[in-house]
């Protein structure tokens, strides 16, 4: 087992790799399937082993909390045809309450151990806001936006800002969210990131700017390599009539 600075650096790398594995399973970057559940399961298995090896490390608990809470939605994230179902449209009765309970317990442990919340623990706290909401309408979007602001302070990132924009739009309206998104339009880090035009398209549609929304959804579809996601985005583009 490494010690001191070497331990911290290697632990951070292990946590990052586990989350990359999980994310590839949760939202496949390419191929015909929206999810690859075996990768999520393997990342969680390794995460639980890691927590057993370093039980006093808050971010290890934070990561397993994040993965388990997110994985709890797996059965609701696709329909019978394997097509994606967006978060606000999911049947929350299909969410795995056992995984949610385990994830919330791990989040509590992470917050007990940490002097201040770090990246995975904050992200787990965001996921917990969704898990605790019995319906989409019960979601505490103001708290989620505040948590994204907290995350941005310790891990500045245009992707964090994009996620914050979604929360802002839900808490304060699509115009407020679009204002945040438009500040990111020319960020080179998001040049090929399909979720930027996808989010912008969603906000434009809510504002009734349908022609602009359709163009954004089509642009997002051209940028993703996942077949299921491409079809979803093209469907959303076709729905923008007028």
Query: What pLDDT, in 10s, does the model give residues 153-202?
Result: 999 999 999 999 999 999 999 999 999 999 999 999 999 999 999 999 99
pLDDT under 50 in the chain at which residues? none
Dihedral over Cα of 80, 205, 175, 162: its sign: positive
| φ and ψ at residue 65, rounded to 5 degrees | -65, -45
In this prediction the pTM is 0.93
Q: What pLDDT sits at residue 54?
A: 95
Residue with tokens 């559940």: 37
Supply the pLDDT for residue 119.
96
Residue 87 to residue 224: CA distance in whole angstroms: 19
* 187 dihedral zone (left: phi>0; alpha: psi -120 to 50; beta): beta
pLDDT of residue 242: 58
What is the C-alpha separation between 162 and 189, in angstroms, rounded? 12
| Interatomic CA distance for residues 134 and 112, integer angstroms | 26
The residue extents of the domains of the chain are 4-139
């Amino acid at each position: 087992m490494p010690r001191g600075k070497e331990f911290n650096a290697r632990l951070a790398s292990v946590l990052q790799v586990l989350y990359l594995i999980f994310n590839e399973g949760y939202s496949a970057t390419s191929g015909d399937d929206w999810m690859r559940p075996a990768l999520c399961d393997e990342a969680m298995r390794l995460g639980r082993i890691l927590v057993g090896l370093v039980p006093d490390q808050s971010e290890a608990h934070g990561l397993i909390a994040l993965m388990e809470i997110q994985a709890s939605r797996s059965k609701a994230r696709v329909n019978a045809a394997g097509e994606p179902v967006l978060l606000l449209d999911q049947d929350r009765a299909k969410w795995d309450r056992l995984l949610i309970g385990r994830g919330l317990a791990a989040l509590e442990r992470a917050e007990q151990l940490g002097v201040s919340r770090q990246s995975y623990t904050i992200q787990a706290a965001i996921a917990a806001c969704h898990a605790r909401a019995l319906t989409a309408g019960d979601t505490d979007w103001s708290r989620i936006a505040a948590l994204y602001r907290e995350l941005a302070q310790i891990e500045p990132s245009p992707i964090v800002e994009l996620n914050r924009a979604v929360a802002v739009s839900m808490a304060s309206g699509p115009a407020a969210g679009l204002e945040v998104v438009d500040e990111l339009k020319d960020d080179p880090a998001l040049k090929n990131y399909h979720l930027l035009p996808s989010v912008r398209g969603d906000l434009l549609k809510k504002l009734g700017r349908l022609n602009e929304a359709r163009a954004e959804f089509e642009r997002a579809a051209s940028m993703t390599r996942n077949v299921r996601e491409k079809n979803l985005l093209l469907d959303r583009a076709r729905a923008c009539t007028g």
